[in-house]
Amino acid sequence: MNAPDTPFAFDAVIADKADAIEPRVIAWRRDIHENPELGNREVRTSALVARHLRELGFDEVREKVAHTGVVGVLKGGLPGPVVALRADMDALPVAEEVDVPFASEVRAQWNGQDCGVMHACGHDAHTSILMGVAEVLAGLRERIPGTVKFIFQPAEETPPIGEEGGARMMIEEGCLQNPDVGAIFGLHVTSIHQTGTIGYRSGAMMASADDFRVFVRGTQTHAAMPWRGVDPIVVSSQIVLGLQTIVSRQMNIAHEPSIVTVGVFHGGVRHNIIPDEVKLEGTIRTFDEEQREQIHGHVERITKLIAEAGGATAKVHIHRWYDVTVNHPGLTEWSVPTLQRVAGTENVKVVDKVCGAEDFSFFQKAVPGFFYFMGCTPPEKDARTAAPNHSPRFYVDEKCLKLGVKTLATLALDWLATHRE
């Protein structure tokens, strides 16, 4: 039996294996949910993953990649290319408010602050789904035409201040090489879609994310004698409004939308003192790398010139976080029929762009990648009003997990079967 299987050959067996493993995927998810770990601290979670992959007889299991990441290599019994699947493992500094028996009561330090810890973005689901895929594919390995690489990634939500981590660091440490990956797939659960549905876009799907910090320096004085100093609060208020004209007046929103938000405005200690300095912080989101550069320039110029007009000075620091998540058009076109076959054509839809960001974007800069959303709001709830990802009330309908296992396993096998030399 040397003839390789066609893509369809695996559908029935994957469906059976996904059915069989569903209770264990749910159990893993509950265990990980109850024991969430913050970015770069996923010690327990990655040990669980590494043990599972070793028990399945993986050819290679690399631990401590980018601090707490795990890379597993499963070689099939037939020659062929290499495909990668990625799951993120980190939780968020959020105190859980969901009423489930396995709710998190964990607390930890995040950037020096005590906080609750919760899988409020559903990365517990992603990790358990990929553990399930690993078992399904390990059971089929003799028939697999190529190699599947499993990437369990830490710190998707960014590492703590002062640390490196996440997808970029895993790539720097060689997770896409040796053997070299030809394509990568990943998914994200989302409350804005119902369980059973899948959403995707070709090209830009999620935003770039950069943050900025501004220090506006005036001259401290008595609040009843403002003419004796320079008021950084009034100047900073004008800067906030000036920044709002970037998207509304200066960007071509017919090309792509973008966002500039000021989320922090700190200054002053007493009602009758005009302070020396105000600190502003904010975020910039774009769907186009050229617009990203334009906005950086506008933020810098508007801030400095408004400060100067008011007799103050301003320092601007912009930190680049994540690139635009861009689904490779050819790979997207290739992936959609597979998703439709597994999930049902009516359940696979092109969806709106999302202004959140993903460091899956770094994998997609290195190799063709396809990232898709999987609904996790149960039928009895309205996805339009369900608590969003990152909310303390974010809820994952566990019935979505099986679809995650089936879609990732099938995408991997279809890709290998259709990309042989």
Residues forming contacts to Zn ion in the complex (CB under 5 A) are 121
Cβ proximity to Zn ion, 121 vs 140, nearer residue: 121
CB of 126 to Zn ion, least distance (A): 8
32 with 147: CB under 8 angstroms? no
- Number of residues that this document lists for the chain: 421
Q: Of residues 37, 42, 322, 358, which has the active-site annotation?
A: 322
CB of 358 to Zn ion, least distance (A): 7
Number of other residues whose CB lies within 10 A of the CB of residue 130: 28
Residue written as tokens 């409350």?
Answer: 191
> For Zn ion, which residue has the nearest CB?
121
Q: Does the annotation count 277 as an active-site position? A: no
Question: Which residues on neighbouring strands pair with residue 189, listed in sequence order?
Answer: 374
Q: Of residues 42, 135, 358, 398, which has the active-site annotation?
A: 398
Distance of CA 342 to the CA centre of its chain: 24
Q: Describe the crossing of helices 11-34 and 123-138 by its angle, rounded to 10 degrees.
A: 140
Cβ proximity to Zn ion, 121 vs 251, nearer residue: 121
| CA neighbor of 284 nearest in space, from 266, 270, 297 | 297
Cβ proximity to Zn ion, 277 vs 398, nearer residue: 398
CB of 8 to Zn ion, least distance (A): 32
Query: φ and ψ at 345, to 5 degrees?
Result: -55, -40
CA 122 to CA 115: how far, in whole Å? 18
Q: Does the annotation count 322 as an active-site position? A: yes
CB of 94 to Zn ion, least distance (A): 10
Cβ proximity to Zn ion, 121 vs 133, nearer residue: 121
CA 238 to CA 230: how far, in whole Å? 14
CB of 16 to Zn ion, least distance (A): 30
CB within 8 Å of 304: residues ≥ 6 apart = 314, 316
Cβ proximity to Zn ion, 117 vs 121, nearer residue: 121
* Active site amino acids: 322, 398
